[in-house]
Amino acid sequence: MDEAPRQVHLRSGDTVWIRPVRSTDASELQRAFALMSDKSQYQRFLTGTPRLTDSQAAYFSQVDHVDHEAYVALSPKDETHIIGVARFIRYPTAPDDAELAITVADSWHNRGLATVLVRELGGRARDVGVKRFRAEMMADNEAVLRLLRSAGLTGETVTGHMASGYIELATTE
């Protein structure tokens, strides 16, 4: 699926491009990940992950757009640069549900980019029959908790350092 990028406006006033990830994005995903702070990398993968390996980058870019989808945001200054990714991966044993993960480049934090990415990804997920996003994050990750609460996070549970919850897609718009 080589859907053309669409312009979206952020609450900061910035305009960025958004499109589904492409198989050719693997090396750019690696470059963008390498630029993230240690804290952001840890918050995304919940482990110390110094670099995206070639096989991880292939997995994250070669998606089927039905059971695994990702939307990438591209810099307004350079459309080859990925500045944010929102992804869902459907659970094989619970196909109404998909795991949600989001990453935004540190220099783009708090401008409304993740909010737009989650909204766009949610629309796509509904179109392909996903009914619920499940999310797991560090319990002290205030940014993602605020983001997901605004998107309708419910069933919040905290176990040790981790929090989890879900978003019912049918009721978020």
**Residue ranges in contact with ligand COA by CB under 6 A:** 40, 43-44, 101-104, 109-115, 137, 141-144, 146-147, 150
Give the whole-angstrom CA distance, residue 165 versus residue 158: 9
Smaller CB distance to ligand COA: residue 1 or 147? 147
Smaller CB distance to ligand COA: residue 43 or 61? 43
Smaller CB distance to ligand COA: residue 1 or 42? 42
Smaller CB distance to ligand COA: residue 75 or 103? 103
Give the whole-angstrom CA distance, residue 169 versus residue 122: 7
User: Are 117 and 73 in contact, with CB atoms under 8 Å apart?
Assistant: yes
- Please state, in angstroms and as integers, the Cα–Cα distance from residue 51 to each residue in 15, 55, 57, 134, 155, following that order: 29, 11, 10, 25, 32
Least separation in angstroms between CB 172 and ligand COA:
13
Smaller CB distance to ligand COA: residue 72 or 101? 101
The secondary element (H helix, E strand) that includes residue 137 is strand 132-138
Least separation in angstroms between CB 45 and ligand COA:
8
Least separation in angstroms between CB 113 and ligand COA:
4
Interior/surface letters 41-80, b for 16+ CB within 10 angstroms, e for the rest: bebbeeeeeeebeeebbeebbebeeebbbbbbbbbeeeee
In degrees to the nearest 10, what's the CA dihedral of 134, 29, 25, 120?
A: 40
Least separation in angstroms between CB 142 and ligand COA:
4
Least separation in angstroms between CB 2 and ligand COA:
25
Strand partners, 9: 15
